[in-house]
Amino acid sequence: MFSKSKRVNIVITFVLLFIAGIPVWWNTTTTYRSNVDFTEINEYYNLKDNITQSKWPLFKQLFNQVGPIQHDIEVKTATEYSLSFTLLNSDPSDIIPKWDFPYLSNKYIQPFIEQISDIANFTVQSKISHYATLLKSPLYDSKENSYYIPSAFLSEYINPNEWQLDTPSTNQPTLNFIIYIPKTTQSPLYIRSNQNSNSFLIPQWGGIIIHNVNNNKNKNNNGPIDLTNELEDQMVSFKYQLKELLGINNENNKNNNKNNEKKEKKYLEKDIILSNDEIDSTIKRYTAENINVSISTLYSLSSLIESLPNMLVLDNIRDQVKVAIESLGRAHQCLEQSDYNCALQASKQSLASSESAFFDKNMLSQLYFPDEHKYAVYTPLFVPVCFPIIAGIFQEFKHYRNKKLKK
Amino acid sequence: MTTSVRASKQQQHTKSQHEQQQQQQQQQQTETTIKDDNKNGKGNYNFKSFLLILFSAILIRIILFYQGFDQLFSNRNEITTPLTSFKRLVEGLHLRELGLSPYAGSAYHQPPLVLLLFYPFVNSINISNNNNNSGDGNNYLIFGIFEKSQILFLIIDCIIAIVLREIAKQIPRVLPKEMKPISANSNLPNITAALYLFNPFTIFTCIGMSTINLTNLAIVLSLYYSLKGMIFQSVFSVAMASYLSIYPVVLIFPCALILKHHFFPPQQTQPVAQNQLPSDQSKQLKQLLERNERPMLLLFYFRILIFFLLSISSLFYLSFTFLNSWEFFEKSYKFTFFVEDLTPNIGLFWYYFIEVFDHFRNLFLFIFQYHVFIYCIPLAIRLKDHPLFYFWSLCAIIATFKSYPALGDTALHVSLLPLLYQPLKGVKYSFIVIVVAIFVTVLAPILWQMWIYQGTGNANFYYTINLVFTIAQVLLIVDSLSVLLKLDYVNKINLKNKLLENNQIEQQQQQQQHQQEKEKEQQEKEQQEEQQDEKTDLESSSQKIDDNNNENNSEENEEK
């Protein structure tokens, strides 16, 4: 016993029990914040105007060499892309289409993907969908006995969001390529424009091609129609659309427009295979953009963590940031040696690590919990608990004084 | 001095020897003990009326089982919890028979030995099902087979009632401060058993086939064996109750205090000292006895602790051998502490942990669980002279603040109240507590119906009834404690008055001695004989004065 009096022992016991609970309260309610090292990123941002004093001076040169990066049509830079090919049928009572997509993909898409596989990982998927409808009925041209859609009003007739494409939701960007087969009552369907083309691009989203099926074959066959041979030209068109969406071969388009029509066939055959210059410029462009986005993401993350003291920062954030900064260092070393493939690989890893750190789901768990709510949580807890303990202490103190006065 | 110390030690040794002999006899000859109990019962404590009480209680339960109330009550949240549900037990047994872990279905959350206990009762259901599938179709067989597990719950209720009756007999002998001696014709043991058997909460728990009855049986047995002075049986019962539902681990403190009162009674040293020696020497003797008793008490408590650890370890090891894994720690005990099932019940946890922010969940889990265990040491300091009340108050605190409470917990501590009748006659709020209990019992199912089935209510309605029920139990605990403390205060004042009177008597005796010395100088041998006569007269007069004081004090107590 601490003393002879029972009352004093009881008060001391309650005080000790309360003190024993304080470490549990502290450990269960403190927001864990790992120590993330952002010094290199902050130094780079503060000194980026002075090339000589900057930590990574070659990044500036690379940015100047590549030039301004635009995203009017191009999809954003990523380490992984998902390519989705859809055969979209309007009325299955007229036509039931069929295609041998692996054959078409291996012949036209895979060689292209293999040439640019250093830039990013590509996954290809395909499907057939029915009952697709246009927002408006196309216009009829009695002279040519066909239907047409004015190119200026394409968005009023076709809205891909209305077509239930059911793309799986992932973090990687998805490029959609659609072959639309109109109804028999609306065939043949053309896009009327200056260009003799029945396809169009949607910026940062994908491409759509309208394909008219031959009526002669339809009359003969009642079952599904194999469109594999007819669609080979469409796959070539998709390849050009993909190049444009990925930002490859922008300058060459201008040069090619100047050529004669006779050379068009040769042009098509030649451009199935990319040239070394195109690949090199693409590698440099992607390296520059990866590095730029990584640095911006890390700087934003640093500002975010500093501005929100209640945000949960786990150890994996620290590890991811460390990997990203180390990858940037390796990319710079590769640039010193003029090894652009090595620099591209390092920049890809830096981009992946920085984005996974920035979009970590645990960081948002306490983001909308302000400090004022803690008062609402703690006041009904600690006031009823502390009041009897403090009252007991004061009462024993008075009792002790009275004893002294009596003596 | 030395002779008195030796005498007291010899008395203790003789007592321990007698108890050991009694234990051996009981272990060897159980039938003779039953006969002796019957013989004693016929002549004492109205055993025939107890048999009538027991028979009528069994009849009520059989009627309710036959009418199918077991299916109704076993679904009520107030009666069964995820930890004590018989349906989940059957689920665990079926999984066990299929060769899977009984915890695989996330339904069974009880310790493994409960499964082992019910195995012979529930296994026969499969046989009946097979017979039905083969085409016998005997309804009587199904009725007979279901009756087995129901009979087990009936037997448990009867055993608890019998043990409570024996406890009522034992308390005046072991704890005279808690209860005065009762005559052989007293109705208190029968009333205690009757108030347990006919308590609606007890009937609900039995018909609902809640396994909280096993925990209640272990708790009651721990009290019984501690009053009997059987250390191992008492500690093992506490370990069994702790094994079944964790919270009764705090009952080791009151059981240790009761056993300490049994083996180290505080009163016997005082009359020896007072009769034989003057006040100064008696004080010195008390101090010496206390100094000698302290190491013995420490060894005694250490022995109790060792018995408890051995018991609980053996139970865990038996469970491990039964399951071949330590899975039951996570599925049973972690389930209790981390409140993984928030199905509504009559406790405070479910609503709070539905609403709490995830960031603060671990903090409030700690606070709510800590709250149950925080009172055992302060109450031990205050109530070490009243271990029975200490036992009751801990049972009441567990019933009020545990994570999955049910009416069976309340039935247990309410049934112990007749044992505390004498100190608690002055309770003020008993009427309010009784009315609130009836109010809650009627309204809880109604508000549940409104919330879940009709949709005219919401969770706040049901939680309000839980709060009212908790307030009633807390009011009962606080009021009882305050009344007991007042009685202690009054007794202290009476003792002080006695001491003052004794001092006055001593002063008078000294004056008389002076007069006697003067008379000696004046008178002869014949006068010496006259002086002896006067001494005897003085002693008799002092005894009469003491008796008068005792009578006056008793009258004052009755008035208060």
Q: In chain A, where are the structural domains located?
A: 4-30+370-406, 75-246
**pLDDT tens-digit readout, A78-87:** 887 888 898 8
pLDDT of the residue at A53: 56
Closest partner residue to A29 (CB to CB) among B363, B381, B382 is B363
Residue B311 — very low, low, confident or very high, per pLDDT cuts 50/70/90?
Answer: very high
Task: Calculate how close chain B gets to A386, using CA atoms only, in Å.
Answer: 13
Which residues in chain A are closer than 8 Å to B363, comparing Cβ atoms? Answer: 24-25, 28-29
A28 contacts B362? CB cut-off 8 A: yes
Asked if the C-beta of A369 comes within 8 angstroms of chain B's C-beta atoms, the answer is yes
- Is residue B237 scored above 50 in pLDDT? yes
- Tell me which chain A residue has its CA closest to the CA of residue B355: A377
B370 contacts A21? CB cut-off 8 A: yes
Which of B366, B381, B385, B481 is the best mutation test for A, with the most CBs of A within 10 A?
Answer: B381
Task: Calculate how close chain B gets to A104, using CA atoms only, in Å.
Answer: 50
Between B504 and A164, the more confident residue is B504
- Is residue B452 scored above 80 in pLDDT? yes
Alpha-helical segments (H) within B402-524: 407-415, 430-448, 459-522
pLDDT of the residue at A269: 45
* Residue A294, CA atoms < 13 Å, CB-side half-sphere: 33
Between B292 and B537, the more confident residue is B292
A366 contacts B363? CB cut-off 8 A: no
B374 contacts A17? CB cut-off 8 A: yes
For residue A149, list its beta bridge partners.
A191
Average pLDDT over residues A327-338: 87
- Is residue B315 scored above 90 in pLDDT? yes
- Is residue B74 scored above 80 in pLDDT? yes
CA gap B1, B224 in Å, rounded: 36
Which residues in chain B are closer than 8 Å to A381, comparing Cβ atoms? Answer: 364, 367
What number of C-beta contacts closer than 8 Å exist between A and B? Answer: 39
- Is residue B88 scored above 80 in pLDDT? yes
CA gap A330, A324 in Å, rounded: 10
A13 contacts B359? CB cut-off 8 A: no
pLDDT of the residue at A318: 84
Asked if the C-beta of B355 comes within 8 angstroms of chain A's C-beta atoms, the answer is no
Average pLDDT over residues B392-401: 93
pLDDT of the residue at A168: 64
Average pLDDT over residues B409-432: 82
Asked if the C-beta of A10 comes within 8 angstroms of chain B's C-beta atoms, the answer is yes
Who contacts B437 (Cβ-Cβ below 8 Å, separation ≥6)? B469, B472
pLDDT of the residue at B550: 47
* Residue B551, CA atoms < 13 Å, CB-side half-sphere: 6
- Is residue B248 scored above 90 in pLDDT? yes
Which residues in chain A are closer than 8 Å to B362, comparing Cβ atoms? Answer: 28
Who contacts A154 (Cβ-Cβ below 8 Å, separation ≥6)? A191, A200
Instruction: Report chain B's mean pLDDT, rounded to a whole number.
Output: 76
A366 contacts B359? CB cut-off 8 A: yes
Closest partner residue to A6 (CB to CB) among B364, B374, B382 is B382
CA gap B542, B521 in Å, rounded: 26
- Is residue B517 scored above 80 in pLDDT? no
Closest partner residue to B378 (CB to CB) among A14, A24, A366 is A14
Residue B479 — very low, low, confident or very high, per pLDDT cuts 50/70/90?
Answer: confident
For residue A84, list its beta bridge partners.
A125, A176
B358 contacts A29? CB cut-off 8 A: no
Instruction: Report chain A's mean pLDDT, rounded to a whole number.
Output: 78
Asked if the C-beta of B98 comes within 8 angstroms of chain A's C-beta atoms, the answer is no
- Is residue B67 scored above 60 in pLDDT? yes
Who contacts B296 (Cβ-Cβ below 8 Å, separation ≥6)? B264
SS3 B104: coil
Residue A32 — very low, low, confident or very high, per pLDDT cuts 50/70/90?
Answer: confident
Residue A212 — very low, low, confident or very high, per pLDDT cuts 50/70/90?
Answer: confident
B363 contacts A24? CB cut-off 8 A: yes
Between B45 and B494, the more confident residue is B494
Residue B519 — very low, low, confident or very high, per pLDDT cuts 50/70/90?
Answer: low
pLDDT of the residue at A196: 64
Closest partner residue to B378 (CB to CB) among A10, A25, A366 is A10
Element (H, E) at A252: helix A250-258
Which residues in chain A are closer than 8 Å to B378, comparing Cβ atoms? Answer: 10, 13-14
Q: Which of B42-51, B328-337, B401-410, B537-546 has the lowest mean pLDDT?
A: B537-546
Pick the most confident of A51-60, B400-409, B524-533.
Answer: B400-409
Q: Which of A376-380, B107-111, B522-526 has the lowest mean pLDDT?
A: B522-526
User: What are B47's two structure tokens?
Assistant: 């055993």
CA gap B115, A122 in Å, rounded: 56
Asked if the C-beta of A377 comes within 8 angstroms of chain B's C-beta atoms, the answer is yes
Asked if the C-beta of A364 comes within 8 angstroms of chain B's C-beta atoms, the answer is no
CA gap B406, B416 in Å, rounded: 17
Asked if the C-beta of B382 comes within 8 angstroms of chain A's C-beta atoms, the answer is yes
